[in-house]
Amino acid sequence: MTSLTESKTARISTLCALYFAQGFPWGFMTTALVAYLAKQGLTVADTGHLIAMAILPWTFKLIWAPLIDSFNFPAMGR
């Protein structure tokens, strides 16, 4: 198995997979979930509150990422 440091294709593929994994839930929450909740009869205000709580991880990402990056995990490399 090729490591990420040896293969540019593996690095790009991993980056694309991670971006997809991050973006898929966002798209689901802002489109499919809103439509589903509207069909179930939730009010616009209730839907807004639920979506606001669901996107909190993305809201705090700017604070969370530097904190996590400050730790060194030797098994994962740097």
The per-residue pLDDT for 13 is 92
pLDDT at 50: 92
pLDDT of residue 70: 86
Query: If you write DSSP's letter for every residue of 6-68 in order, what string do you get?
Result: T-HHHHHHHHHHHHHHHHHHHHIIIIIHHHHHHHTT--HHHHHHHHHHHTHHHHTHHHHHHHH
pLDDT score recorded for residue 77: 66
pTM of the model: 0.59
Query: So what's the pLDDT on residue 41?
Result: 96
Along the chain (78 residues), what's the average pLDDT of each consecutive run of 10 residues?
Answer: 81 92 86 92 94 88 86 74
